Structure 1
Amino acid sequence: MTQKASAENLGSELLQTIDTEEIADNSMRRTVEILLNLIEQQQVEIKELREENQKLRDELYLRNVTLNLKLIKLVLFG
Protein backbone atom coordinates (compact mmCIF):
# COMPACT_ATOMS: atom_id res chain seq x y z
CA MET A 1 0.00 0.00 0.00
CA THR A 2 1.36 3.41 -0.92
CA GLN A 3 1.79 6.19 1.59
CA LYS A 4 -0.95 8.16 -0.21
CA ALA A 5 -3.42 5.28 -0.02
CA SER A 6 -2.50 4.67 3.60
CA ALA A 7 -3.16 8.32 4.48
CA GLU A 8 -6.49 8.23 2.63
CA ASN A 9 -7.57 5.09 4.49
CA LEU A 10 -6.49 6.58 7.80
CA GLY A 11 -8.46 9.74 7.04
CA SER A 12 -11.58 7.76 6.17
CA GLU A 13 -11.25 5.62 9.27
CA LEU A 14 -10.75 8.69 11.43
CA LEU A 15 -13.87 10.36 10.01
CA GLN A 16 -15.93 7.27 10.80
CA THR A 17 -14.86 7.33 14.44
CA ILE A 18 -16.31 10.77 15.05
CA ASP A 19 -19.68 10.55 16.77
CA THR A 20 -21.37 13.90 16.44
CA GLU A 21 -24.11 12.82 18.87
CA GLU A 22 -21.55 13.15 21.65
CA ILE A 23 -21.31 16.89 21.01
CA ALA A 24 -23.64 18.58 23.49
CA ASP A 25 -23.91 21.96 21.80
CA ASN A 26 -26.40 21.71 18.90
CA SER A 27 -24.77 24.49 16.92
CA MET A 28 -21.34 22.95 17.30
CA ARG A 29 -22.70 19.49 16.42
CA ARG A 30 -24.26 20.83 13.23
CA THR A 31 -21.06 22.67 12.32
CA VAL A 32 -19.01 19.50 12.77
CA GLU A 33 -21.51 17.50 10.69
CA ILE A 34 -21.30 20.05 7.88
CA LEU A 35 -17.51 20.02 7.99
CA LEU A 36 -17.40 16.22 7.96
CA ASN A 37 -19.70 16.15 4.93
CA LEU A 38 -17.50 18.67 3.14
CA ILE A 39 -14.41 16.57 3.88
CA GLU A 40 -16.10 13.46 2.52
CA GLN A 41 -17.15 15.31 -0.64
CA GLN A 42 -13.60 16.57 -1.14
CA GLN A 43 -12.23 13.05 -0.70
CA VAL A 44 -14.52 11.81 -3.46
CA GLU A 45 -13.56 14.70 -5.72
CA ILE A 46 -9.83 14.16 -5.07
CA LYS A 47 -10.19 10.48 -5.97
CA GLU A 48 -12.02 11.34 -9.20
CA LEU A 49 -9.43 13.97 -10.12
CA ARG A 50 -6.56 11.56 -9.46
CA GLU A 51 -8.21 8.99 -11.72
CA GLU A 52 -8.73 11.59 -14.45
CA ASN A 53 -5.15 12.78 -14.06
CA GLN A 54 -3.85 9.23 -14.49
CA LYS A 55 -6.03 8.74 -17.56
CA LEU A 56 -4.64 11.92 -19.10
CA ARG A 57 -1.07 10.86 -18.30
CA ASP A 58 -1.70 7.51 -19.97
CA GLU A 59 -3.15 9.21 -23.06
CA LEU A 60 -0.18 11.59 -23.26
CA TYR A 61 2.25 8.69 -22.94
CA LEU A 62 0.54 6.81 -25.78
CA ARG A 63 0.57 9.91 -27.99
CA ASN A 64 4.28 10.39 -27.35
CA VAL A 65 5.00 6.75 -28.14
CA THR A 66 3.00 7.00 -31.36
CA LEU A 67 4.76 10.21 -32.36
CA ASN A 68 8.16 8.71 -31.61
CA LEU A 69 7.37 5.64 -33.71
CA LYS A 70 6.32 7.86 -36.62
CA LEU A 71 9.54 9.86 -36.32
CA ILE A 72 11.63 6.69 -36.24
CA LYS A 73 9.88 5.37 -39.37
CA LEU A 74 10.41 8.72 -41.08
CA VAL A 75 14.12 8.75 -40.26
CA LEU A 76 14.69 5.10 -41.18
CA PHE A 77 12.48 4.79 -44.23
CA GLY A 78 12.17 8.37 -45.44
Structure 2
Amino acid sequence: MRIVWKDSKPRTYKPVKYRKHMIYGSPKGWTIDIEGDNNLYASHYCAMNAIDAALGGTSVRGSANAKRKRYGIQIVGKKNETA
Protein backbone atom coordinates (compact mmCIF):
# COMPACT_ATOMS: atom_id res chain seq x y z
CA MET A 1 0.00 0.00 0.00
CA ARG A 2 1.26 3.45 -0.88
CA ILE A 3 0.23 6.46 1.16
CA VAL A 4 0.51 9.88 -0.42
CA TRP A 5 0.43 12.74 2.05
CA LYS A 6 0.25 16.40 1.21
CA ASP A 7 0.78 19.14 3.74
CA SER A 8 -2.33 21.28 3.86
CA LYS A 9 -0.70 24.10 5.82
CA PRO A 10 0.91 26.69 3.55
CA ARG A 11 4.54 27.49 4.19
CA THR A 12 5.10 30.72 6.09
CA TYR A 13 8.01 33.04 5.48
CA LYS A 14 9.23 35.35 8.22
CA PRO A 15 10.31 38.83 7.10
CA VAL A 16 14.03 39.51 7.40
CA LYS A 17 15.50 42.92 8.22
CA TYR A 18 18.75 43.65 6.40
CA ARG A 19 20.55 47.01 6.27
CA LYS A 20 17.41 48.81 7.52
CA HIS A 21 15.27 47.29 4.73
CA MET A 22 12.77 44.44 4.90
CA ILE A 23 12.85 41.28 2.81
CA TYR A 24 9.50 39.49 2.41
CA GLY A 25 9.09 35.91 1.21
CA SER A 26 6.24 34.23 -0.64
CA PRO A 27 5.86 31.04 -2.67
CA LYS A 28 6.48 33.04 -5.86
CA GLY A 29 9.72 34.72 -4.69
CA TRP A 30 11.34 37.20 -2.33
CA THR A 31 10.71 40.95 -2.47
CA ILE A 32 12.45 43.95 -0.93
CA ASP A 33 11.00 47.27 0.23
CA ILE A 34 13.31 49.56 -1.75
CA GLU A 35 11.33 52.21 -3.66
CA GLY A 36 11.03 51.39 -7.36
CA ASP A 37 12.15 47.75 -7.08
CA ASN A 38 9.48 45.43 -8.53
CA ASN A 39 11.60 42.29 -8.84
CA LEU A 40 10.96 38.86 -7.35
CA TYR A 41 14.20 37.22 -6.26
CA ALA A 42 14.93 33.49 -6.18
CA SER A 43 16.10 33.42 -2.54
CA HIS A 44 16.66 35.71 0.40
CA TYR A 45 20.38 35.64 -0.42
CA CYS A 46 19.59 37.14 -3.85
CA ALA A 47 17.43 39.78 -2.18
CA MET A 48 20.27 40.68 0.21
CA ASN A 49 22.66 40.99 -2.75
CA ALA A 50 20.13 43.26 -4.51
CA ILE A 51 19.94 45.50 -1.43
CA ASP A 52 23.74 45.67 -1.38
CA ALA A 53 23.78 46.61 -5.07
CA ALA A 54 21.12 49.29 -4.57
CA LEU A 55 22.83 50.84 -1.55
CA GLY A 56 26.35 50.38 -2.86
CA GLY A 57 29.13 48.38 -1.32
CA THR A 58 28.80 45.14 0.60
CA SER A 59 27.06 44.24 3.82
CA VAL A 60 27.61 46.38 6.91
CA ARG A 61 29.40 43.57 8.75
CA GLY A 62 31.93 43.00 6.01
CA SER A 63 31.94 40.90 2.89
CA ALA A 64 29.20 38.37 2.19
CA ASN A 65 29.74 34.68 2.87
CA ALA A 66 30.72 32.31 0.06
CA LYS A 67 27.25 30.80 -0.33
CA ARG A 68 25.67 34.22 -0.77
CA LYS A 69 28.32 35.18 -3.33
CA ARG A 70 27.49 32.06 -5.37
CA TYR A 71 23.81 32.99 -5.55
CA GLY A 72 24.41 36.44 -7.00
CA ILE A 73 21.21 38.29 -8.01
CA GLN A 74 18.70 35.91 -9.59
CA ILE A 75 15.46 37.57 -10.69
CA VAL A 76 12.56 35.15 -11.25
CA GLY A 77 9.85 37.66 -12.16
CA LYS A 78 8.16 40.93 -11.37
CA LYS A 79 5.69 41.82 -8.58
CA ASN A 80 3.09 43.09 -11.05
CA GLU A 81 3.04 40.02 -13.33
CA THR A 82 0.17 37.60 -12.99
CA ALA A 83 1.03 33.92 -13.11
Same-fold call, TM > 0.5?
no
Instruction: Point out the structure with max Rg over C-alpha.
Output: 1
| More strand by percentage | 2
Give TM class, smaller chain. under 0.3
Q: Please report the TM-score for the alignment, with normalisation by the length of structure 2.
A: 0.20
| More helix by percentage | 1
Q: Please report the TM-score for the alignment, with normalisation by the length of structure 1.
A: 0.20
Q: Which has the higher contact order (CA 8 A, sep 6+)?
A: 2
